[in-house]
């Protein structure tokens, strides 16, 4: 069975070795996203207190969730044997962020 074109494109873009590795990487992204989805409500309750929803709580959630998402991504990458890929992915991500701030100054 031939490899679908979209998997081949991701394999080339991410410099992966096999279509199976692409699927594992996508599973890691999915697990990380679902984990963030499941922990959102408890975190929002903790940040907002007894209020239903607050702007401050929402802003704090987005500030806290970025580093937490990255840690979860590395943890799931480790569990699924793709830590090296996700470590490089995180390095590129943070380099892009720091370069944005450097260019503004």
- Inter-residue contact 102 to 94 (CB < 8 Å): no
Q: What is the pTM of this model?
A: 0.84
Domain limits, the chain: 10-93
Tens digits of residue pLDDT in 32-84 = 999 999 999 888 888 877 666 678 888 888 999 999 999 999 999 999 999 99
Tracing tokens 């207190």 back to the chain, one arrives at: 49
Integer Cα distance of 19 and 52 in angstroms: 44
């Amino acid at each position: 069975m031939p490899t679908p074109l979209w998997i081949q494109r991701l394999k080339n873009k991410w410099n992966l070795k096999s279509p199976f590795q692409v699927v594992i990487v996508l599973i890691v992204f999915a697990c990380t996203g679902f984990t963030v989805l499941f922990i959102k409500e408890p975190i929002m309750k903790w940040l907002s207190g007894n209020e239903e929803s607050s702007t401050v709580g929402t802003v704090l959630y987005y500030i806290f969730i970025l580093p937490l998402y990255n840690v979860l991504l590395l943890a799931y990458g480790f569990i699924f044997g793709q830590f090296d890929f996700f470590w490089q992915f995180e390095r590129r991500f943070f380099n892009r962020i720091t370069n944005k701030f450097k260019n503004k100054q």
